[in-house]
Chains A and B, each alone.
Chain A
């Protein structure tokens, strides 16, 4: 049973427009959320995160929004650039019970930014 869901496997956006990537989660114990970006033949790289005590975090062109009541978060990229074309993974964390935090990932959304 997937606890972190990215329901759109792919998304195409025109250069300069906004990209919105969505993520839903089911575990109410999650209290930290992250987005990772992955280019082909490379490992995921950390992009931006948000704590459950906030509803928005912004870093340059990237903004993450968290709606705890809906168990939903989204990543906005404005303006989108061709170099943003990659697979974006949503991840969430909760204590493993042994006191440490583990990341639970979604399957990813492949973003294509068209020049």
Chain B
């Protein structure tokens, strides 16, 4: 138990559905992240929020829409996804966003396995 929870753990959706992934951290952290891990690919950073402000968007398609209403919660809204978006999606948090010489350990949630039909 890392203090980062994700719901749902499994999600199957059609290409025309709208769904959301939820992440909650109980660690008092101020930075939150979404990562994607496709089959046989490494973990890839999607979005970073620091003190509720989005600071990174790694060229993620607009069918993925993040939302960070407060420092404890992070959502990933999904709309008109493609089958190739099927993957494991991990949320992570850290004390704050990592800037030079102040490494902040990232704590990961257990992930959501998403299948797009």
Bits for B1-37, please: 1 = Cβ < 8 Å to A, else 0. 0101000000000000000000000000000000000
B8 shortest CB reach to chain A, Å: 13
B93-117 interface code vs A (CB 8 A; 1 in, 0 out):
0000111100101111111000000
- Interchain CB contact under 8 A, A46 and B105: yes
Do A45 and B108 have beta carbons less than 8 Å apart? Answer: yes
Report if A93 contacts B (CB, 8 A): yes
Closest to B40 in A: A107
Q: Is the interface of B mostly helix, strand, loop or mixed?
A: loop
**Residues of B within 8 Å of A, CB-based: how many?**
27
Interface of A is mostly: strand
Q: Which of B57-103 contact A (CB under 8 A)?
A: 58, 90, 92, 97-100, 103
Residues of B within 8 A of A (CB): 2, 4, 40-45, 48, 50, 55-56, 58, 90, 92, 97-100, 103, 105-111
**6 A-B Cβ contacts within 8 A?**
A45-B2, A100-B50, A100-B97, A101-B103, A103-B43, A107-B41
